[in-house]
A and B are shown apart, each in its own frame.
Chain A
Amino acid sequence: MLSRHKSLMFALMTVVAVALMLGARSMAKGALAAEQSEQIDATERGALDPLTPDEEGAAERIARSDNRVKEIVGEQQVRLVSATPVLIKRGESPEKIDVHQRAIEVVLFRPQPEVGARVLVNLAQNSVANVERLDSRQVPFTPDDLKDAFELALREPQVQKALGSEAQSFHIQGQRNAPPATASENLVSGLPIRSSDPKDPCSKHRCLQLFFRRGTDFLSEPVVTVDLTAKHVSIEGRKSK
């Protein structure tokens, strides 16, 4: 009986010892993992995390210096439209994807003549993985286009008259590095417009319609359509209820 108790005690002590040993190892591993995780957080960003200004600058520089890109858009007056982290499918499952790869899709646009390029940049390898020519209709509008359109519009006496002495006080919506617009600010914004009438140049050209916000209210007039391709401005009369 006594020896049976001894045996059970031995068994229990063995299990407890093993459990303590495994527990201690697991805690040590956990602490190490947490420490490593903090280090990884500081050094390795996720593939789709927002770009830092340095990363965006590097991606743009790599894209602009590629010979295929130069052939398409040239080197002068080329604008950055966007730089966006993207992830490309590889293999057959998400486990095969390097979740830290920094592939950046850079879109560049040259307004004269209107031509764009979509460039896939591999940031880690400092290289360009793919280049695609974009026709002007495939290139999204940016606040740079809006600025051009507003400048063209301001040359029109009718627009100047409608906006009055405040004409120069209108800010461009969404300009880079500009603080968010306040409710009291005068703002000009624009929407891409595409005509369904084949005779209308805006069925093919890059056209923006401009809207003017004074404080929180939008001016009903002027409604200005700017054909950026033809550098032409047209002004629409107001439709009443």
Chain B
Amino acid sequence: MKSGYFSAMALLCLFVCIMGASAAAQAAPPAMPCSRANLVDQKFPTSGPEITHWRLCWQAVAGNGLVIHWAYFRTSPTKPWLFVLWDGRVSEIFVPYHTGNPRYYDVGFGFGLTPIGSQDCPPTQGGTVLAGSVCKEVRDRGLSWKADSQVYRGEELVLWSALAAANYNYVMEWTFRDDGIVMGRVGATSHNLPGREYETHVHNPIWRLDVDLNGWPNDSVALGTHTENLPGLTATDTEPLISVESGMQWNPRHFHSLNVSDSGLLNSKGHKTEFQLIPLPTGGLAQHQEPFTKNDFWVTRYNPTEMSAGNLVSYISPPQAAANSDIVLWYRGSVHHHPRDEDGEMVKGAWHGVALIMWTGWMLKPHDLFDRTPFYP
């Protein structure tokens, strides 16, 4: 009877351990400041057991359009949720025309979102219309990797909406991939400017990305820099710390990126986790007369009243310390629109036609977040 008691206790302990581990794996998702249609929760792969998971809020804000809040990512069902983004938004869209005037500030009008329906967002393509103005698409994103006969196709969650900005529509797209990458794009489309249908211009969306890795304190930003040691055959990568608030130009030959880290965030191998902001320009990046367009990257300290990209120069004057603090990244992309016959034609004094969508954007890429990719067997 005594040995039965010990056996029972041993089995009980084992059972409790298994139940405990199972409970940890099923840890409650983080509480979110949104609900119903504004809360998006997506595991990957979409079919089969979870590998990775995103959980986030969206909000429609007049002028800024589709804003993302509180993006959490989980690298495995047994790992804790990682807070990545407090707030991501298009802060301004600055549109100067080649003759010097006009110069538009499209976020300066509290434009709303266009309606979105099943034609924009077909359920057959993985689309779900949220609150009548946002499309959620969960879809195959093509090859994640390939190694001879081995292959894995990735998936992504895309939220998009369109800002109804007078003659233009700005499509604002936020992509959350199964591999932890976040992408932001703005697409300019609709009708060329009345009265200046043939004049070249540049649409400059400026994103404000309040990246808060592992919460907001103790974040730092480094400028990822590749250098070819010319003349010579070697190259080096460096990551100088951005110690004070500042603006920087992106140089494609240096593969510049803004690398955000948190002093308390390491992967299981003990490597410092980063999220790297990498521009994905289409063709190039413009600079204009206005001082806030002189730089492509900006790093500021979080201040809830500093939301407008047009005032960036004043936000860093005088520059405050930016290391080990609560930081905000800013990035300006450019769409160079040289009107073409495909845009439309003048018919009886009115412009008939539509400018096909032109994109610019960026990606926020994890570096040493996973211990190894979970998508390789």
Contact = CB atoms under 8 A, between A and B. Distances in A.
Q: Do A and B bind each other?
A: yes
A54 B357 CA distance: 38
Contact of A190 (B15, B59, B109, B349): B109
Contact of A50 (B7, B103, B114, B131): B131
Nearest to B62: A82
A92 B59 CA distance: 23
B105 interface: yes
Contacts of B215: 92-94
B370 interface: no
Contact of B15 (A15, A200, A221): A15
B230 interface: no
Interface string B314-352: 000000000000100000000000000000001101111
Contact of B35 (A45, A92, A211, A220): A45
Nearest to A14: B8
Interface string B64-78: 000001100000000
A89 B304 contact: yes
A116 interface: no
B124 interface: no
Interface string A212-227: 1110111111010000
B109 A48 contact: no
B150 interface: no
A48 B34 contact: yes
B109 A192 contact: yes
Contact of B4 (A6, A81, A213, A219): A6
B194 A218 contact: yes
Interface stretch (A69-77, A151-159, A233-241): A233-241
A18 interface: yes
B195 interface: yes
Nearest to A179: B115
Contact of A193 (B63, B100, B104): B104
Contacts, number: 193
Interface in A7-66: 7-12, 14-15, 18-19, 22, 41, 45-50
A115 to B, nearest CB: 17
B197 interface: yes
B374 interface: no
A235 B208 CA distance: 36
A191 B166 contact: yes
B29 interface: no
Interface string B284-319: 000001100000000000101100100000000000
A191 B115 contact: no
A196 B104 CA distance: 11
Interface string B1-45: 101110110111001000100000000001111111011000000
Interface size class of B (residues with CB under 8 A): 35 or more
Interface centre among B10, B167, B326 (most CB of A within 10 A): B167
A142 B217 CA distance: 37
A48 B69 contact: yes
A174 interface: yes
Contact of B103 (A3, A193, A219, A236): A193
Contact of B194 (A100, A192, A193, A220): A220
A122 interface: no
A196 B63 CA distance: 22
Interface string A151-185: 00000000000000000000001100000100000
B11 A19 contact: no
Contacts of B104: 191-194, 209
Interface string A90-105: 0011110101100000
Nearest to A100: B33
A196 B292 CA distance: 13
A15 B108 contact: no
A213 B30 CA distance: 47
A211 B191 CA distance: 11
A192 B167 CA distance: 13
A50 B60 contact: yes
30 contacts: A6-B1, A8-B4, A10-B1, A10-B8, A11-B7, A11-B8, A14-B12, A15-B11, A19-B15, A46-B32, A48-B34, A50-B131, A88-B304, A92-B215, A99-B31, A100-B33, A140-B62, A140-B108, A140-B109, A141-B109, A141-B110, A189-B166, A189-B167, A191-B104, A191-B166, A192-B108, A196-B103, A212-B194, A217-B352, A220-B350
Interface of B: 1, 3-5, 7-8, 10-12, 15, 19, 30-36, 38-39, 57, 59-63, 69-70, 83, 86, 100-112, 114-115, 131, 164-167, 191, 193-199, 215-217, 289-290, 302, 304-305, 308, 326, 346-347, 349-352
Given A84-B61, A132-B305, A208-B109, 5 more contacts: A14-B12, A89-B302, A93-B83, A95-B31, A192-B108
